[in-house]
Structure 1
Amino acid sequence: MSAPTAHPEPLTVACLCAGWCVACQAYAATFAQVAQAHPDVRFAWIDIEDHSDALGDEALDIENFPTLLVLKGQAPRPLFLGTVMPHAGTLERMVQAAQAGSLDSATVRTALAGPVAALAAAHQVQGADTPAP
């Protein structure tokens, strides 16, 4: 008898952005392309100004864009929160590290984990042809 296959914990990658941000606008297509390459990962594009009520005060601490929040698990725990270079390779390496378990960081603590996970369910990026919200 073979051992049951363990199901990997769900991974969520959220880009916290602002509609006025030129860097975010330029990054939207890249983010969608990487999302399309990883159908097993939930990617979400979340405008922190449009969703400030749901995100609370911690969203006000985001000062640079694009900012990524990487979450893992059903009860999401944050693995990464920070500004990144808006390049596909950077995002791709981050996703691969999170999937491999090498992005786990006990130092990342954020009250945004729950609200972002909830918003991600409603703002999931489906693919490269998805218009930027």
Structure 2
Amino acid sequence: MSLHVACLCAAWCRTCESYQDVFQAACRELLGPEADVRWIDIEDEAELVGELDIETFPTLLVADAAHVRFAGPLTPQPETLRRVLRAHLNDAAAASVAPEFEALAARLRAPR
């Protein structure tokens, strides 16, 4: 199973700046090397983000090869991130998300 996890942030966001290490550490701890983990600056990677309008930082996307499992903003605490990752590692159900999140997930699945 291929899992894609992306944290959508902005370089100017001080919350994101302090959250990046937390995000990377939690993903390494819970997901292992087989997951595709991405830190995406929504301005630097605007083409990848597409029409998705991110208003709250950080925003997390968790998708597998077939569908989006989770998409939405998180409070920037390590335990919140771990809880969300654990829940969606074990639950392969599709989340009901905006088409823009589905489109981003499809771009993340594409070979780089």
TM-score range, shorter chain: 0.7 to 0.9
Alignment of 1:13-92 (within 5 A): 13-37=5-29, 38-39=31-32, 40-58=34-52, 61-73=53-65, 76-92=66-82
Shift of 1:43: 1.7
Query: Aligned partners of 2:109 and 2:6: how far apart in 1?
Result: 8
Seq. identity, %: 38
- 1:105 is aligned to 2:105: no
TM-score by length of 2: 0.82
In structure 2, runs of 5+ residues without a counterpart are: none
Amino acid at match of 1:68: L
Give the length in aligned residue pairs.
Answer: 107
Say which structure is richer in helix. Answer: 2
8 Å contact kept, 1:55–1:116: no
Query: Aligned partners of 2:108 and 2:17: how far apart in 1?
Result: 20
Q: Which has the larger radius of gyration?
A: 1
Shift of 1:115: 2.1
8 Å contact kept, 2:48–2:104: no
What is the root-mean-square deviation in Å for CA atoms of aligned residues?
1.9
In structure 1, runs of 5+ residues without a counterpart are: 1-8, 123-133
8 Å contact kept, 1:18–1:24: yes
- Identify which of structures 1 and 2 has the higher relative contact order when contacts are C-alpha pairs closer than 8 Å and 6+ apart: 1
Shift of 1:42: 2.5
Relative to structure 1, the CA distance from residue 106 to residue 35 in structure 2 (aligned partners, 3 Å threshold; closer, same or farther) is closer
